[in-house]
């Protein structure tokens, strides 16, 4: 029996989470669900975007599934604060091309490992009406920790190269520490090829030669931007899952946001949420089932018959989900 914390959040987060729960109920595994609130609607109801009770539920769970949250003006991001509360320092975002999706490159299979606890997402901002300052916090400890996570993931995936992305030619101290830490850790992995690029050049290379990368590691903001760019290479955010991994907790979420423009229409692509659940099952050690889920998603996408509007179809969220479950069972 796995105890899962379910935090649907706002907008399409609620719809894709319902689809994900439907799929989980069909698996030959036992789950208990405990529900927590977070996001804009939560703020309207409780005066906070992330209640302490939600953090408590997440902390005592075997894993956390998070849908999406809408930004609340003047309030901290609930997902960023939840990541910090759980100390899930490695944000893992796989990027994979799928047969049946029109892509410039059809051989993409890399992963972005994003430092998840500091950088500009430290949310340390201050100033007055004329000048605002955001502190960019980069520590050697967090930089070495995320670099180790990237190298270990490269070995786990059976790949051969880790690429460090930074901007140390301008941010000489902060990104200097990040890059130095990367190469310090690299000495412990002599079998892995290493390279590094400035983030602006990397943004170009992801468009022109994405098949040349295996594992990419970067700071919080750069990793966030590059992973959204990369999702555009393989069909959009509806196919982009992510996992937030720490030493004691795992938090899994689709990369997409709450998409209020389509919320309530039952047309959101559930694949990124379902693939995030597959990553959760990897984390829990249920590798056979997680691989079966990924294979089922791939078959439904390749079939081209049942797909949501973001991929050129007219199917609903649940129609796609049921097609995946049909392949699965």
Span 199-210, average pLDDT? 97
Amino acid 123: pLDDT: 84
- Whether pLDDT at 106 is above 90: no
- Whether pLDDT at 78 is above 90: yes
Amino acid 74: pLDDT: 86
Q: Name every residue whose Cβ is closer than 8 Å to that of residue 20 and which is 6 or more positions away in sequence.
A: 65, 270, 273, 274, 276, 277, 321
Span 24-49, average pLDDT? 96
- Whether pLDDT at 204 is above 90: yes
Sign of the torsion formed by the C-alpha atoms of 175, 178, 184 and 185: negative
Amino acid 199: pLDDT: 98
- Whether pLDDT at 105 is above 90: no
- Whether pLDDT at 329 is above 90: no
Span 98-116, average pLDDT? 93
In CATH terms, are 1-96+237-329 and 104-233 the same topology? yes
Give the separation between CA 273 and CA 252, rounded to whole angstroms.
8
Residue 168 gets which letter from DSSP? T
Span 110-134, average pLDDT? 93
Q: Beta partners for 119?
A: 137
**For residues 245 and 146, is the Cβ–Cβ distance under 8 A?**
no
Least confident of 71-75, 197-201, 225-229, 268-272: 71-75
Give pLDDT tens digits for 145-182: 999 999 999 999 999 999 999 999 999 999 999 999 99
Note the CATH architecture for domain 104-233.
3-Layer(aba) Sandwich (3.40)
Kindly report the CATH number that applies to the domain delimited by 1-96+237-329.
3.40.718.10
Q: Please state, rounded to an integer, the average pLDDT across all residues of the chain.
A: 96
Domain ranges of the chain: 1-96+237-329, 104-233
Give the separation between CA 183 and CA 227, rounded to whole angstroms.
22
**For residues 288 and 278, is the Cβ–Cβ distance under 8 A?**
no
Span 184-189, average pLDDT? 98
Percentage of the chain exceeding pLDDT 70: 100
Span 23-27, average pLDDT? 97
Q: pTM of the predicted model, to two decimals? A: 0.94
Amino acid 103: pLDDT: 86
Give pLDDT tens digits for 279-323: 999 999 999 999 999 999 999 999 978 999 999 999 999 999 999
**Listed residue (208, 107, 226) closest to 163, CA to CA:** 226
Q: Beta partners for 91?
A: 114, 244
Give pLDDT tens digits for 41-70: 999 999 999 999 999 999 999 999 999 999
Higher pLDDT, 153 or 124: 153
- Whether pLDDT at 136 is above 90: yes
């Amino acid at each position: 029996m796995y105890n899962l914390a379910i935090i649907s959040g706002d907008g399409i987060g609620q719809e894709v989470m319902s689809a994900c729960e439907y799929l989980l109920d069909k698996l030959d595994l036992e789950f208990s669900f405990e529900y927590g609130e977070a996001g804009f609607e939560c703020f309207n109801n409780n005066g906070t975007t992330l209640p302490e009770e939600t953090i408590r539920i997440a902390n005592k769970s075997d894993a956390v599934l998070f849908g999406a949250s809408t930004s609340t003006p003047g309030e901290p991001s609930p997902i960023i604060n939840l990541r910090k509360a759980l100390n899930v320092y490695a944000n893992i975002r796989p990027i994979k091309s799928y047969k049946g999706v029109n892509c410039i490159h059809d051989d993409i299979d890399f992963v972005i490992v994003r430092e998840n606890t500091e950088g500009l997402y430290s949310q340390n901002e201050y100033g007055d009406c004329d000048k605002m300052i955001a502190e960019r916090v980069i520590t050697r400890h967090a930089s070495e920790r995320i670099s180790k996570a990237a190298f270990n993931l490269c070995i786990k995936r059976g790949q051969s190269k880790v690429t460090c992305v930074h901007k140390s030619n301008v941010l000489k101290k902060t990104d200097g520490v990040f890059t130095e830490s990367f190469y310090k850790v690299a000495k412990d992995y002599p079998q892995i090829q290493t390279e590094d690029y400035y983030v602006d050049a990397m943004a170009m290379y992801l468009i022109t030669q994405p098949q040349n990368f295996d594992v990419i590691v970067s700071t919080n903001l750069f990793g966030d931007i590059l992973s959204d760019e990369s999702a555009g290479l393989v069909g959009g955010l509806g196919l982009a899952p992510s996992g937030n991994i720490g030493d004691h907790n795992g938090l899994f979420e689709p990369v997409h946001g709450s998409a209020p423009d389509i919320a309530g229409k039952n047309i959101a692509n559930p694949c990124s949420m379902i693939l995030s659940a597959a990553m959760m099952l990897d984390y829990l050690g249920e590798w056979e089932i997680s691989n079966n889920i990924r294979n089922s998603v791939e078959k439904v996408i390749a079939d081209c018959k049942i797909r949501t509007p973001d991929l050129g179809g007219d199917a609903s969220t649940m129609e796609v989900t049921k097609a995946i479950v049909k392949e699965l069972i």
